[in-house]
Amino acid sequence: QVQFVESGGGLVQPGGSVRLSCGASRFTLDDYAIGWFRQAPGKEREGVTCISSGDDITYYLDSVKGRFTISRDNAKNTVYLQMNSLKPEDTAVYYCAAHRSGNHYCTANLYEYHYWGQGTQVTVSS
């Protein structure tokens, strides 16, 4: 059973920063493409960013380009989402997810992902 441990969410002021972490037990994250998704109240879940296995492919939602960065620390078996210059519209529950066929590939299509974390709330408000 694949298990994620997500952390790092919370309340942050507009313009602030937060880093989300997605760690895993019982499997090696670097073998998978990893995506971060978010779901705001009353809205559909959307793909924010993803990174392929081997880190050669990344994708960013247009609204987060230049503000968010996805990265891996393979020694810690953890994927991070660094979020800067946060806006109230970034408020959502953020989920990490793993895609089994992630070699040189990642996608923002949530239906292609096989394993999901439990989500962590990020609230951007003054």
pLDDT attached to residue 68: 98
Copy the structure tokens of residue 22: 């997605």
% of the chain beyond a pLDDT of 70: 99
Mean of pLDDT over the chain: 94
Express each pLDDT in 43-77 by its tens digit: 999 999 999 998 889 999 999 999 999 999 999 99
Express each pLDDT in 79-106 by its tens digit: 999 999 999 999 999 999 999 887 889 9
